[in-house]
Amino acid sequence: MLKALHELTSDESLSFEEKVTALLRLGLSYFGLEHAIVSQIQNDIYTVKFAVSENPELCPGLTFDLGETYCVHTLDAGEALALSNVANSDIASHPCYELFQLESYIGMQVVVNGQPYGTLNFTSAHPRETPFTPEDIDFIHLFAQWVGVEISRKQEREQLDQRLALQLEMEELANIGAWEVNLETDTLYWSAQTKKIHEVPPDYEPELETAINFYHEGADREEIAGVVQRAIEFGEPWSREVRLKTYNGNIKWVATRGKAEFKEGKCVRIFGAFQDINDQLQTRQALIDKKNEAQRLLKARSTMIGKISHELRTPINGITGMLQTLVGETNPDIIESRVAIALRSADLLVRLINDVLDYSKVQHGDLELKNVRFAPKHIFDDLYALYQPQCQTKKIELDFRVDVAATQYTMGDPGRLTQIFSNLINNSLKFTEVGGIKLTAKLEPEDDKAMLQVTIIDSGIGMDRAAMNDLFTPFKQGSAEVSAKYGGSGLGVAIVKELCDKLGGSLTFKSSKGVGTQACVKIPLTLSEDSRASVAMAYVGPQSINYEQLRILVVDDNEINRLVMESLLSQVDAQADYAVNGKEALEAVQRTRNKPYSLIFMDCEMPVMGGIDATIAIREKFKQTGKIFIVAMTADTSDDNRKACLKAGMDAFLTKPVKLEEINAVLNRAAVYEVSSF
């Protein structure tokens, strides 16, 4: 599509009218619609300037009241408007729909020289089979910009033709707005406008020998010298766009046109017109840049979709394949092995989805950071507990040397720090077959600040210089051989780099192919004023807690999710009551107010009453019952949803799919929380 648009817009053999008509036909073919219009809107009157349609009544010159067209909504929106089924939209009662029954519409305002001109729109009497896509919006933007620029250029050309016609009539009287070289007297004349373009003083007298030096040194100056010489020798007229270096040192683009006058076979005069086209060329370049950016975005989007689609198939195949082979299987060892593979595939799928979501947030500037009190030592304790079994399975060593006191607390975002270090350890684990992984960490305080320095060294396959150069480039994974063997999205390290930068820190790598890789992370933190952990939010490590004493309520409208929670809780000897929406949860809390729940797992999106509204109601109605520990349990990982949950009164936030170790951590916190609340 972009190639076709480029060929059309760059075809100098076509007139303006032919180009616009061809563009409308191209748009109809691309969008799969029936009618195309370029309109001009003045004083709320909509005038058809160009049209392509099988309906002969839809032709240039036709006028409508603006309020009777869909384009009034486009102008009100101030951006592209796309409707694939008007009958099911908010404007189904619009007069245009009632009069013409147009079911599909995509349109964009046309701006000429910074001022509203009209609209470019494509319509059809039939609903579109598929909704308009973001790419469709990009193309209507591009089409409308091109139309606006071309109308502007046409207006400028018409004005120029008028000025030149007037100038030609006046040249013999006053030579206004022109330049002239008299070869018989070797004198050069510049009109006032020509002097203005050159930015010389009004009394400046140009000299024939030095005037050529105003043209940009190099190709521009040589080109002008050449066309002047050919005009003098052969009478060739010229029209060129070249760069000029003004008297004040500014570089600008000018259009220069000239011709020669001969007497008795000898050139006696050359003269012509001079125009500043700097703004016009900037507009043209802006359109080219827009086109190139659109091509880059389309290529990046296609690369991402292709890469992610490929990577998703691996874990999905692992999950579905293993579950299918479990049907009818009775051998406990085989069942355990295949369940383990399915679980690893599920973890890989979750990590991949999280990487894509985080990358999207980073690209759109939506990634928000927390600033909470936490103990850095606990992050490394949790990471060691998580990765030690995996290293044992691969028969490689995991060595953690953490020079951070367990009682040392800082302010920052522990979740993002965990994400950084787990991503780097995951990479080391993936690429290390023999030897091991060593992590060293230290916290260097200075006044109320501290620098957390973490180094992760592995004895994996390492990287060559080419792979190091692409290390922070999304979707890049070194050689095709490495990508094919180890898989992955190529997003992990790129996300880690963005997170480190956003946290005000740094990420550096050293690596030798066949030897291993070293990653060094530095993150600035603020020391907590109070180094004591509050009882309710204290870190709770592995310990013996009788979960049977906890009264638990699980609120989720999805039966499978409830069964999953029941299975997870049963593995730690915990039992729960169940509700399918927030209203049932309120009723359950009301019934048990004499022996209140210790913990509620609350889904956010449910029919009848959602989790956020239910939490607000529980906090408001049952203040005297004793504060219940409420945990959000949701698939919506957005920062807005997290904030809404905490604002409603929830105490923690779990993202589906929930893992057993996360359930354990919540049960531990709830047990301690219950002790501190009564």
Give the HSE-up count for residue 545: Cα atoms under 13 Å, Cβ half-sphere: 21
Alpha-carbon gap, residue 598 to 581, rounded angstroms: 19
Q: Are 58 and 33 in contact (CB under 8 A)?
A: no
As given in the structure block, the two tokens for residue 372 are 């909470």
pLDDT of residue 312: 65
DSSP 550: S
Find the length of the chain: 678
Give the integer Cα–Cα distance in Å for 656 and 646.
Answer: 17
390 vs 409: CA distance, rounded Å: 29
Q: What is the largest CA-CA distance in the chain?
A: 119
Question: What pLDDT does 465 receive?
Answer: 81
Distances from the Cα of 118 to the Cα of 48, 178, 234, angstroms: 9, 35, 47
Among residues 246, 241, 245, 243, which one has the least CA distance to residue 257?
241
Global confidence as pTM: 0.40
User: Residue 315: in which H helix or E strand, if any?
Assistant: helix 278-326
CA distance 76 to 41: 13
Neighbours of 525 (CB within 10 A): 22
Beta strands 179-182 and 187-190: pairing type? antiparallel
- How far apart CA 604 and CA 633 sit, in angstroms, is 7
Beta bridge partners of 634: 655
Element (DSSP H or E) covering residue 373: strand 372-374
Whole-number Å distance between alpha carbons of 600 and 588 = 11
Q: Residue holding tokens 């029919």?
A: 607
Residues 39 and 49: beta-carbon distance below 8 Å: yes
Burial 370-388 (b: 16+ CB within 10 A, else e): eeebbbbbbbbbbbbeebe
Q: For the chain (length 678 residues), average pLDDT per consecutive 10?
A: 77 87 92 94 94 91 91 90 90 83 92 93 92 92 91 88 68 57 92 88 90 92 94 93 92 91 93 86 86 79 63 69 83 86 76 69 70 88 84 92 86 87 88 93 87 94 78 59 52 81 91 91 83 34 62 92 88 91 94 89 93 93 77 82 89 84 83 54
Which domains can be identified in the chain, with CATH numbers?
2-157 (3.30.450.40), 175-276 (3.30.450.20), 301-363 (1.10.287.130), 372-527 (3.30.565.10), 547-677 (3.40.50.2300)
